[in-house]
Amino acid sequence: MNKLVTEVLQGSVRAMARLITLVENEDPCSLEYLGAIYPHTGNAHVLGITGSPGTGKSTLTDRITTALRRRAQSVGIIAVDPSSPFTGGALLGDRIRMQRASGDSEVFIRSMATRGNLGGLARTTADVVKIMDAFGKDWIIVETVGVGQDEVDIVRTADTTIVVLAPGLGDTIQSMKAGVMEIADLYAVNKADRSGAEALLTEVKLRVEQDAEIKKTLWQAPVLKTVALDDQGTESLLDAVVSHRNFLKQSGNFEIVRREKAREETLSLLKEEISRTMVEKILGNGRFEALIDDIVAFRKDPYTSVQEIVGTIFPDSE
Ligand SMILES: Nc1nc2c(ncn2[C@@H]2O[C@H](COP(=O)(O)OP(=O)(O)OP(=O)(O)O)[C@@H](O)[C@H]2O)c(=O)[nH]1
Ligand SMILES: [Mg+2]
């Protein structure tokens, strides 16, 4: 087996950091390495933490990490900031807010920001999760800013997702879009020391109850109060996460969800690979520019042309 992969599996933090960098940079070797570590994954519990900017996700991540360490669990943290192209900035802020956790050698923190497209970022996040998992982290926390579709895609890699809300930040029922309700296994109403927290708590609880009634789900997302700043409510929140994990395992949902994820992931890899190799081949065969000349001159149209090209590559697909 490759030396770097072996070192990661043996628990070398430096090797893990290097492998993550290779994956982030889409190094040509990275797919082979990811393939080699794959059989060693599937042991960590992946916790997604998402919510509007400034709700206290990083502070909460820090508290949960400390609570996990008290329970003798090792932790990897991935802080994803889709809006920021500067990993350095994200890193600095997160390090400050995750001070306690970052001083612990059993805690590994990695920040990631948008490089290419967001689909890419979701993929990279999933790959980094696998690396930390193979390394042997018991828990992997993925913190991502925002509550839009892009973030939904990123936290989809998580087994359990906490949506963090806070009073005074415009977090209301209206802001809880369908996508968010879909991914939330738990809600943390953070900054419970602030006014408006009680009202927000009631509002979210009501919404969750209504939603659970309509969908007849087996798991109803608990809504818990926290004051991350003062480490209040952390243990209860973690207990609820553990309950959700047990629910997943006992109900058989764990296998269903993991299968769905494996399917989506493989399909997305397949699409990417087919697209890459086919386009390379087509562009390499010289006739493409002549075709473009025809399209520009209106002798051909792009729609029929694409169908024709695909038809020559896959003659049986009609
Ligand atoms: N009053 C109060 N402030 C808090 C609480 N939790 C966090 N904060 C403060 O809220 C601010 C934002 O906290 P962060 O943990 O950085 O929030 P975040 O959601 O990670 O922020 P982004 O990553 O920028 O979206 C900081 O100044 C925290 O100190 C809390 O429970 N109560
Ligand atoms: Mg943060």
CA 152-142-41 angle, to 5 degrees, is 105
Assess contact for 61 and 77: CB atoms under 8 A: yes
Residues 6+ apart with CB under 8 A from 69: 75, 101, 104, 106, 107
**What pLDDT score was predicted for residue 67?**
96
Residue-wise DSSP of 95-123: HHHTHHHHT-TTEEEEEEE-SS-HHHHHH
Q: Position of tokens 């493409």?
A: 288
Q: d(Cα 16, Cα 8) in Å, to the nearest integer?
A: 5
Residues 6+ apart with CB under 8 A from 250: none
Beta pairing class for 45-51 and 160-165: parallel
Task: State if residue 211 touches ligand 1 by the CB under 6 angstroms criterion.
Answer: no
Tokens of 173: 């029922």
Tokens of 186: 């738990």
Task: State if residue 188 touches ligand 1 by the CB under 6 angstroms criterion.
Answer: no
Assess contact for 97 and 66: CB atoms under 8 A: no
pTM, two decimals, is: 0.87
- Of the candidates 233, 231, 171, 162, which has an alpha carbon nearest to the alpha carbon of residue 200? 171
**In the CATH scheme, what is the homologous superfamily, with its name and number, of domain 41-251?**
P-loop containing nucleotide triphosphate hydrolases (3.40.50.300)
Q: d(Cα 272, Cα 31) in Å, to the nearest integer?
A: 12
Ligand nearest the Cα of residue 146 is: 1
The residues with which 189 forms a beta bridge, in sequence order, are 165, 225
- 213 Cα–ligand 1 center, Å: 32
Task: State if residue 61 touches ligand 1 by the CB under 6 angstroms criterion.
Answer: no
**What pLDDT score was predicted for residue 85?**
47
Tokens of 239: 């207990």
**What pLDDT score was predicted for residue 42?**
94
- 98 Cα–ligand 1 center, Å: 11
Q: d(Cα 142, Cα 159) in Å, to the nearest integer?
A: 11
The residues with which 163 forms a beta bridge, in sequence order, are 50, 187
- The number of helix segments (H) and strand segments (E) in the chain equals 14, 7
**What pLDDT score was predicted for residue 190?**
96
Question: What SS3 class is residue 195?
Answer: coil
Q: d(Cα 74, Cα 139) in Å, to the nearest integer?
A: 6
Pocket test for ligand 1, best of 229, 230, 234 (most atoms within 8 A of CB): 229
**What pLDDT score was predicted for residue 92?**
46
Domain boundaries, the chain: 1-37, 41-251, 266-313
Per-residue confidence in pLDDT tens, the chain, 318 aa: 799 999 999 999 999 999 999 998 888 899 999 999 999 999 999 999 998 888 999 999 999 999 999 999 999 999 887 655 444 444 445 554 555 555 667 899 988 876 554 457 788 889 999 999 999 999 999 998 765 666 777 778 899 999 999 998 776 666 666 677 788 999 999 999 999 999 999 999 998 998 888 888 889 999 999 999 999 999 999 999 999 999 999 998 889 988 988 998 899 889 888 888 888 888 988 889 999 999 999 999 999 999 999 898 888 755
CA 122, chain centre distance (Å): 6
Residue 78 host element (H or E): strand 75-81
- Of the candidates 110, 97, 107, 140, which has an alpha carbon nearest to the alpha carbon of residue 229? 97
Task: State if residue 191 touches ligand 1 by the CB under 6 angstroms criterion.
Answer: yes
Q: d(Cα 125, Cα 157) in Å, to the nearest integer?
A: 8
Task: State if residue 53 touches ligand 1 by the CB under 6 angstroms criterion.
Answer: yes
Residue whose CA is at the smallest distance from ligand 1 atom 26: 56
**What pLDDT score was predicted for residue 212?**
85
